[in-house]
């Protein structure tokens, strides 16, 4: 029996993780759950899975959860505060940690789990995007096991040889190929993207995801962040990482070898597959996912990446080459821009514009410690908010 902590349990990844866990009551016990603001959803999860701890960073939400759990007669200790996320992530009784808190908010607890030597199931992209070197050092230094949850990185992990940690060239790998669906606007004329609404951007054709990651998929920043993740997960150079559009989302990613072979991982687009792979690793367990029928799937299409249509991918490669705090600046600017777009303050096409302007304005420094990363993150957020406000004023003036 393995104790599982799920950070971000009310999000799409957290809900899917609990679905897989529930299918294997003989293997897993839910040790701790966390959510940002969804009190009722977390209360119902606590009632079903009876965790020892439930964490809500906001004190007010935590108090409401305590009262609700008392009403439901659920015996669960409620903790409040951001620091408590790190506490449950590093707890001596936790065996596995699903790091699924969206955005920079998930970075400290992800690193805490790595520093505690846990099996870290990483769904939080920002831990590697913002602090890739620091995070990987924590993993190696403390003997943690790192298992990627992104469908693309999980597919690569499955397609690589066991000795890839010795170096991709030594393992016979030529390059990693990340597939991307292209999102909801892959074929829409660029001129029509000026009037895109948040609802349209969040309507992904293949995946059911949260609003922030759905917008990232529409702008393809999601893929840009995955390029940066892949660099740290697999110790790859930018030249060893390629992005290819694959609208069907059946081939989740591929590895090309020096002998010309290409090994891919295929499956129906369902996040329970990579989650189950990580939970059961190195065994394979039932995920509750429908089996792929290639005959019914029909053709599989692949297209080259168009960086003119998706400038966020270009920006990601640029910051990867710049290094230091550049990826943290990109990530922070993106979070603020996406938040503004979802709130109706920013046009869809201005998301990448804000990011590019912030990257030009905020100085890049070495990321020697976490404080350096967090400082750059804060500076980028301030700069991004300023640019959002300026663009809003310009838009009002134009009206």
Q: How far apart are CA 391 and CA 182, in angstroms?
A: 27
Mean predicted confidence (pLDDT) in 229-258? 96
Bridge-partner residues for 256, per DSSP? 175, 262
Region 2-148: CATH code: 3.40.50.720
Name which of 288, 284, 282 is nearest 268 in CA terms: 288
Strand duo 262-266 + 251-257: pairing: antiparallel
- Per-residue pLDDT band for 398 (boundaries 50, 70, 90) equals low
Q: How far apart are CA 94 and CA 114, in angstroms?
A: 12
Greater model confidence, 45 or 217: 45
- Burial profile 109-139: b = 16 or more Cβ within 10 angstroms, e = fewer: bbbbbbbbebbbbbbbbbbbbbbbebbbebb
Phi, psi angles (nearest 5°) of residue 304 = -70, 150
With contact defined as beta carbons under 8 Å apart, do 30 and 55 qualify? Answer: no
Q: How far apart are CA 167 and CA 172, in angstroms?
A: 9
Q: What's the length of the chain?
A: 399
Phi, psi angles (nearest 5°) of residue 194 = -65, -25
Q: How far apart are CA 329 and CA 325, in angstroms?
A: 6
Place of tokens 């912030």: 358
> DSSP character for 292?
P
Q: Cis before residue 54, ω within 30 degrees of 0? A: no
Q: How far apart are CA 384 and CA 260, in angstroms?
A: 44
Q: Each residue of 180-222: pLDDT tens digit?
A: 998 888 888 888 888 888 888 887 776 667 788 889 989 999 9
Q: How far apart are CA 337 and CA 241, in angstroms?
A: 26
Q: Each residue of 89-125: pLDDT tens digit?
A: 999 999 999 999 988 889 999 999 999 999 999 998 8
| Mean pLDDT (the chain, rounded) | 94
């Amino acid at each position: 029996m393995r104790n599982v902590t799920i950070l971000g349990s009310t999000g799409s990844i957290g809900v899917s993780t609990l679905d897989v866990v529930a299918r294997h009551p003989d293997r897993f016990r839910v040790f701790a759950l966390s959510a940002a603001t969804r009190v009722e959803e977390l209360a119902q999860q606590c009632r079903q899975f009876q965790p020892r701890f439930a964490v809500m960073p906001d004190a007010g939400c935590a108090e409401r959860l305590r009262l609700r759990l008392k009403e439901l007669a659920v015996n669960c200790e409620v903790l409040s505060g951001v620091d408590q996320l790190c506490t449950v992530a590093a707890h001596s009784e936790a065996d596995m940690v699903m790091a699924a808190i969206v955005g920079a908010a998930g970075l400290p607890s992800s690193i805490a789990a790595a520093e505690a030597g846990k099996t870290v199931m990483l769904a939080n992209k920002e831990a590697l995007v913002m602090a890739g070197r620091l995070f990987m050092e924590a993993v190696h230094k403390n003997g943690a096991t790192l298992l990627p949850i992104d469908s693309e990185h999980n597919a690569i992990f499955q397609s690589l040889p066991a000795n890839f940690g010795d170096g991709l060239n030594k393992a016979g790998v030529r390059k990693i190929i990340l597939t991307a669906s292209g999102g909801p606007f892959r074929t829409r004329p660029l001129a029509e993207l000026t009037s895109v609404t948040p609802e349209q951007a969040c309507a992904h054709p293949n995946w059911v995801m949260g609003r922030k990651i759905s917008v990232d998929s529409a702008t393809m920043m999601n893929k840009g962040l995955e390029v940066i993740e892949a660099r740290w997960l697999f110790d790859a150079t930018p030249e060893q990482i390629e992005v290819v559009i694959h609208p069907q989302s059946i081939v989740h990613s591929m590895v090309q070898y020096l002998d010309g072979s290409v090994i891919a991982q295929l499956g129906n687009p369902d996040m329970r597959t990579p989650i189950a792979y990580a939970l059961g690793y190195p065994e394979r367990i039932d995920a509750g996912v429908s089996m792929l029928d290639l005959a019914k799937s029909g053709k599989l299409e692949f297209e080259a990446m168009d960086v003119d249509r998706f400038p966020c991918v270009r920006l990601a490669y640029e910051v990867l080459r710049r290094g230091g705090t550049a990826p943290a600046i990109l990530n922070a600017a993106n979070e603020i821009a996406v938040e503004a777009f979802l709130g109706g303050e920013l046009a869809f096409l201005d998301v990448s514009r804000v990011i590019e302007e912030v990257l030009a304005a905020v100085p890049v420094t070495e990321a020697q410690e976490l404080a350096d990363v967090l400082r750059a993150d804060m500076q980028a957020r301030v700069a991004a908010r300023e640019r959002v406000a300026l663009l809003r004023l310009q838009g009002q003036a134009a009206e």
